Amino acid sequence: MQFPYQLAAKGIYSLKNVRLETGFEYDDEEVIRTKTGLFSIEIEDGKIKSVKRNDPASDALDGKGFLMLPAFRDMHIHLDKTLYGLPWQALSPNRRTVKDMIAYEQEIIPELLKTSVDRAEQLISLLQHYGTHFARAHFNIDPTSGLHSLENLEKALEHKKDSFKAELVAFPQHGLYYTDTLPLMKEAAQLKSVGFIGGLDPLSIDGNIEKVIDFTIQLALDHKKGIDIHLHEVGESGMKTINYLIDKAIENPQLQGKTFVSHAFALAHLSPKETEKIAERLAEGKVGIASSVPFRGTVMPIPMLKKYGVKVVIGNDNVQDYWSTFGSGNMLQKANLIAELYGYETEFELSRTLQFATQSILPLDEKGKQQWPKPGDDAAVVFTDASCSAESVSRISKIEALMNDGNLFWRH
């Protein structure tokens, strides 16, 4: 997909006829509708400067009555090794384990790297088509890729810098010790562009939970990075890894709020009492969960985690690549899936579910008081063809415009 928008404005400018949510309408104590109104918005230096009464007669850019929402953020995705942009390819039944996939990657990565800049840009354009302006992107660090996956991804991001941002995770997809990846991880950790140290199934891939986590923790501490570890393991090894990581976060307060477990499928196989206990521990250590909202029988305890104050962020993970056939790149679709999985179907519940696309930013608070946008907020927004947040989630509404750092891109 080519970039679906064209630049409409940047720098200092104003918008009129912008629809914003203003409150809830109640029947007794039940929210039955979301109230909205039209406003004028001023943008300056990448920020929202003011939110004012609508002036339809002004010469400001016309928001056309579309609903303005916070732009979407994809907090777990692999931009560097997509098949998007190549001919259709479904999953092979011959590759069933992570080690099978590692062997396959070692075969195909040299060829994929030749076109990975262009394909990463096409995938970013797909995300933007659906309203995403920011991603946490895991890039391969392994002996086959070297640092070339990072270098090519950085080129793609440079080409997209006006309309898209990313924070980068150095991801040892082929294991730290299973392949000779330690020297490359040490090299990547020194780079300013790398914000997080990644990891992968320490027991099943590298054979030792403590050895792998200790290395990862120390590397993050030495270079003042965050941590985001892929953990597909379930049962005893999965829970041991999560608990060990929590222990280390509690011991090292500088890692709290910057440490995440991606997937964490082990949490989906616990009793309610066990789930409450680990949720309390995750909250204590300020260790977050990054979920791709798996289905196929694996339903994560997201409501319980949220109840105990655990930070839960959502991402698409793999978008139509050789790991997954189904990823769409659409964060509103992810919010919609969450609503269906957990039974969020009322006006109020659907309005709250938008947070999984925006990563916690909501126009209205729990009482229906307008809390976004306000002066000083980042000018990162979407304009959507919906009457309110609840409708946008339920109907996966079309995105008409995307704003990043105050740069407004309107659909062709």
DSSP string covering 203-267: HHHHS-HHHHHHHHHHHHHHHT-EEEEEE---HHHHHHHHHHHHHHHHH-GGGTTSEEEEE-GGG
Q: Compute the distance between CA of residue 44 and CA of residue 11 in angstroms, rounded to an integer.
A: 6
- Tokens linked to 355: 């947070």
User: Is 354 inside a domain boundary?
Assistant: no
Q: Compute the distance between CA of residue 204 and CA of residue 185 in angstroms, rounded to an integer.
A: 19
Neighbours of 127 (CB within 10 A): 25
User: Is 353 inside a domain boundary?
Assistant: no
Q: Compute the distance between CA of residue 258 and CA of residue 288 in angstroms, rounded to an integer.
A: 8
Let me know whether 370 and 302 are in one domain.
Answer: no
Let me know whether 16 and 109 are in one domain.
Answer: no
Q: Which domain holds residue 264?
A: 73-342
Which CATH number covers residue 238? 3.20.20.140
Give the chain's residues under pLDDT 50. Answer: none
Residues 120/156, Cβ–Cβ less than 8 Å: yes
Note the pLDDT of residue 244: 98
DSSP, res 24: E
Which of 310, 342, 374 finishes a domain?
A: 342
Which CATH number covers residue 58? 2.30.40.10
Q: What is each CA distance from 366 to 27, 237, 350, 353, in whole angstroms?
A: 16, 38, 12, 12
User: Is 358 inside a domain boundary?
Assistant: no
**What's the number of domains the chain is made of?**
2
User: Is 66 inside a domain boundary?
Assistant: yes
User: Is 379 inside a domain boundary?
Assistant: yes
Residue whose C-alpha is closest to residue 100's, from 324, 323, 326? 323
Let me know whether 170 and 45 are in one domain.
Answer: no
Let me know whether 243 and 333 are in one domain.
Answer: yes
Burial 47-80 (b: 16+ CB within 10 A, else e): bbbebeebeeeeebbebeebbbbbbbbbbbbbbb
Crossing angle between the packed helical segments 209-223 and 182-189, to the nearest 10 degrees? 20
Residue 177 β-bridge partners: none
Let me know whether 14 and 28 are in one domain.
Answer: yes
Note the pLDDT of residue 60: 98
Residue 280: strand, helix, or coil: helix
Residues 52/37, Cβ–Cβ less than 8 Å: no
Let me know whether 119 and 239 are in one domain.
Answer: yes
Residue 167: strand, helix, or coil: strand
Residue 20: strand, helix, or coil: strand
Let me know whether 205 and 292 are in one domain.
Answer: yes
Q: Compute the distance between CA of residue 178 and CA of residue 187 in angstroms, rounded to an integer.
A: 18
Note the pLDDT of residue 148: 97
Q: Compute the distance between CA of residue 286 and CA of residue 271 in angstroms, rounded to an integer.
A: 22
User: Is 28 inside a domain boundary?
Assistant: yes
User: Is 356 inside a domain boundary?
Assistant: no
pTM beyond cutoff 0.85: yes
Q: Is the dihedral of CA 308, 313, 314, 318 positive or negative?
A: negative
Q: Compute the distance between CA of residue 204 and CA of residue 300 in angstroms, rounded to an integer.
A: 21
Note the pLDDT of residue 295: 65
pLDDT digits (tens, 9 = 90+) for 292-342: 886 667 899 999 999 999 999 999 998 877 787 777 999 999 999 999 999
Amino acid found at 373? P
Which of 342, 376, 401 finishes a domain?
A: 342
Q: Compute the distance between CA of residue 47 and CA of residue 276 in angstroms, rounded to an integer.
A: 39
Let me know whether 58 and 81 are in one domain.
Answer: no
Let me know whether 63 and 124 are in one domain.
Answer: no
User: Is 372 inside a domain boundary?
Assistant: yes
Let me know whether 41 and 118 are in one domain.
Answer: no
pLDDT digits (tens, 9 = 90+) for 106-123: 999 999 999 999 999 999
Residues 139/345, Cβ–Cβ less than 8 Å: no
Let me know whether 330 and 300 are in one domain.
Answer: yes
Let me know whether 48 and 161 are in one domain.
Answer: no
